[in-house]
Structure formats: C-alpha cells, structure tokens
Chains A and B, each alone.
Chain A
C-alpha cells in the first residue's frame, strides 16, 4: 500500500527512519535476527550489554516463564569489549550504512569500567550512541546499585558523557525505585541525551516441591507483557515530570509485542520504542510493529508519527 505517512522521528539529534528499536540483550550483538527479518528496516539497534572483559554470566536455570512474562538472570553474559570490536563491528557498520542507528549497551561494575568501554567505542564510526545499563538486576556489584541512587546516577552519567565524543548517551533506568522521576532527573542533570525505560523488575518464582527459588541466582528480572501497563505508566510519569518540554527523548520499552503496544508508549511520552522479550517468540516482531504503526497512522490520517509522542489527553 502506498502511504504518505512519515514514520521518522528525531531522537536526541538523530533522525531515525522509524521509532522502533531492539531492546538490549534480546536481539544479539548485530544481525542475529537477520534470518527472520530485514534488520536494516529497524529504526535503531541496541546491542547486548558489553563489559570490558568477557562475562560468562550466572549458572542455569537462567530463565523461567511466568504468566505473560519471564524472569531472566543471565548476569550480563557477553563476549567482552575486545571480541565485540573484532567480530561484531563490521556487521554493525553495514547496518549503520543502511541507516540503522546503532547503540551499544554498556555494563560494568565500576565507573572506570563504563568509561573505558565507552572511550574505546566512541571512535567507531558505526556507533551512533550508547545506552548505559545501570539498571541490571542480575549482577552483584555495580549494575542496579548505581541505578537506584540518584547521586551515583548523575556521577556515572557525567563521567561517561565526557568520553562519548559527541555520540548520543542514553541512560537506562531501573523501575525498581520508589520514584523513577528522581533517578531520571539525576541522569538528565548528569548530561544524558536520552532516557531509556524500563529495565526488568526484580522478581522470584518458587519451586514448591523443593522449596527453592526456580532460578539458580534466586531472583531474576521480569519482562514481557506482564510489565507493560507499569512500564507505560512509568514512561508517562517521567515524561510529565522530567522530560516534557526538554530535548531529552524517552526510549520506551517493557512488554511491547504489537504496534498497539508501541503506540501506547508513544502516546505516554516515548519518542521511540524497543521490542525485547517478544522477539524470542516472534523474531520478526519488530518488523511487524513498524508496519503496524504505519497502518495505524494511515487509518487515523496521521501524516507524521511524531504527532503521537506525548499525545495522551
């Protein structure tokens, strides 16, 4: 179908061809989804968390399904900075050339780790920006402890901001706090160009036969449709309380499976959205969401998708 609708959005100074990205840790390092969809159709791609050294992550079981969701405690398993640069950057370069905004998600246990990884990658042409994962519930040191303390959020954001060489810095917030506006504000004050929310919610499943937690690491992060209404609410809270009227966009995520889900996030205040857990079930999900947004705009005679952003009455 021919359409006049523009689905392009501005995101912290980048022009995205559409508002749909992949969520970190759910779509691999580069073109892993390529067997199932055209990865070059994505508005943006966020890599799995990269840490300065390889991490093997936690013992199994590392995931368990729950009603309308799943818990994971992968523990930021990743190939580490050196192998990432050597093996994955070439593919990311090709994707970047096709117009996909590439964001590398960065994890660490100290501020120095985050800075070192960012500094090294800031030289890469393929990379449009970084997503700071200060919100992973599954590592013992760093991770979430940074993300819940506004002082540390600001400190780490400003430290990393100094070495981004003008690339976009997204700070990914944890929902496991009393008032997410406080950490959001701290990130903005630290110099965040964009905010990404939400990461997973800390949760537990118990095996009643053995009286033990089902996951080897006891707790895990809840993702999937189960968290969507909470995530939409939190995006709206941060939009109204922190970013509205500023030039800091929100990358919204949490349980997005359909274009309708994505549009809810945009109406709540997200400039772009990310598909996470849904890709495990339907690896072409992100492509379907992009198409669905177009169809919705056509049906509602919306010529510019940015009209949806924060349009909640």
Chain B
C-alpha cells in the first residue's frame, strides 16, 4: 500500500516562470519538492489552490494598466483562489501552471514574481471534474478566465484516452481575454497546449477578433445540430467560465439530455471550509426547496442540473 499522503496542506513553492501571454494575461509556474511534490502530483482537473499574495509588492506604477490604477491601492489580506491549467511531475518535483488575468490588487502583485521567488500555496482544494464513464465524446466549453481548468481537463482526458473524441469550445469577449496560451498564425489562432489528435478546438469571440464572431455557446449548439443525430447519452459536457455562460450551457444540456458538469466561482474568504462565504444554491432532488453547499468543499464542480445560477447583478 502506498504511504498515506496528506489531503491538503500549505506549502512553499518556487517560481519557475511568470510569462506574459497577452495584454492582461500571465502564466505562472510553481515547483514543489518533497511531500508537497507528491501531494500536488495527485492534483485533478477542477481542483484549485489558494495563493498567499499579501507579502508581494506592487509593480512599479508604469507597469500598472490605467484601468487598474485605483484598484492597485487596495491592500490585499485574503489569499486568492486559482485553478491550474497543467500539472507535470518528475520523480522528485511537481510543477503546476496557473494562468491568471489582471483583475485587481492581488493579480497585479503577482506579475512581480520572478524565477526563484518563493510563494505559499495552499492546496489541493475542492473537488474535481468527474471523469466520463462509457461516453464517446466530451464537449468542453471554456469562457475567458475559466479556460485554465478546461485546458487541464482536456489534456487529462486526451492522455488517459478517456473518450474517443474531445471537442473544445473556447470563447471570450476578445481573443486577448482568453486565458489559454495561443499562437497567432496567418491561418488564424491556434492553441499549442491543446494540439492532440483527439482534440478538436473551436474558438469564438464576442468581437470577432478570432474564430467565430459570437457566443461560444452558439458554436456548441451548432455542433450539436450537426453531430447530434446520434444518442446524446454518448456525450458529456463540461464547462467553466462566466456564470451567464454556464447558465446557457446548463439549459442546452438539459434540453438535449446531456450530462453536464460546471465549475463555479464564488468569492472565497478561505478556500478551506472555515468561513462559509462561498455558498452555491443547490436544488434538492425533491425540487421543493434549495440548500446551500460550499463552493470550496462540495465544488467548485457541480452537476449543472442541481445549480440555481445567480442572477447577473
């Protein structure tokens, strides 16, 4: 029997890289050794970490985008939750990659991280996407900053040969907002991390800056119309992105009777079931009432049928 490893912990990681991918998007690599390496090697797509960013300094003023100058002044006390886009392990180390988008004071501080810097990382936290059983095709929908865990899931599904076909729909307002590494070629945009014989990628942008001009969910509907002659029981749908997108996804899944899992975001005070801040409203099987479940413990991945999606404010 393998030696028992802890369920989760608070560890120090070493920064291996922190590359700018787009105007407001970065890719951060964090390397663990020892016990932490063994623990983080078990990281499943959909799980997340909490990064300790309070101790980081703000970047110099000229590195702060104009629209974040005000936000930059806010102090950071709480940790910040991030999903992973990839996990790679050697016999002694494990490296996790995070793709982050500049939203405010914490993510701004993160751009000052350089190779060799140390960062405290709490994890692995939360549940994960359930791997498909007896499914032919996995349909993955990524919206904006929701893309990293979908990338992780796609590569995991491909590596495990879990389905015969993976179709990934990635969408954002504009192509620069898509939190996936990309290459701009004369033929259009390609996503090098998702190049695999069994992964097909469709891109959509609200402003037409790449791929289909329109919503990513439209591409999914179109795909279903073209390919959906067969039994939908062979399909499984996964999504992560803005809640309005996930709500549409859930409706599509329910209309077509497709199993669907969505990864949700909530404001998280702790990420480890201490503060009770992160509740998601869930329908009970009797549908007579709803209950609250913690996004950091019971989630972030939920069965789309159960979720009462939040109204957009």
Contact = CB atoms under 8 A, between A and B. Distances in A.
A35 B271 CA distance: 13
B277 A60 contact: yes
A313 interface: no
Interface stretch (A127-135, A175-183, A235-243, A278-286): A278-286
A74 B277 contact: yes
Interface in A151-175: none
Given A57-B276, A281-B52, A67 B7 contact: no
A306 interface: no
Interface stretch (B22-30, B76-84, B168-176, B248-256): B76-84
Interface in B257-298: 266-267, 269-270, 272-279, 281, 291-292
B272 A63 contact: no
Interface stretch (A24-32, A102-110, A289-297): A24-32
A212 B275 contact: no
B10 interface: yes
Interface string B1-41: 00000111110000000000000000000000000000000
A17 interface: no
A60 B264 CA distance: 13
B176 to A, nearest CB: 22
Given A26-B275, A60-B279, A281-B52, A67 B74 contact: yes
Chain A interface, >50% SS class: loop
Interface string A100-120: 000000000000000000000
Contact of A280 (B7, B269, B292): B269
B269 A283 contact: no
B288 to A, nearest CB: 15
A88 to B, nearest CB: 13
Contacts of A41: none
B310 interface: yes
A280 B79 contact: yes
Contacts of B292: 56-57, 77
B6 A280 contact: no
Given A28-B274, A70-B78, A77-B279, A283 B10 contact: yes
A283 B274 contact: yes
Contact of A77 (B77, B122, B269, B276): B276
A239 to B, nearest CB: 28
Interface of A: 25-28, 32-33, 35-36, 48, 56-57, 59-65, 67-70, 72, 74, 77, 210, 212, 224-225, 277, 279-284
Interface of B: 6-10, 52, 54, 74-79, 122, 266-267, 269-270, 272-279, 281, 291-292, 310, 313
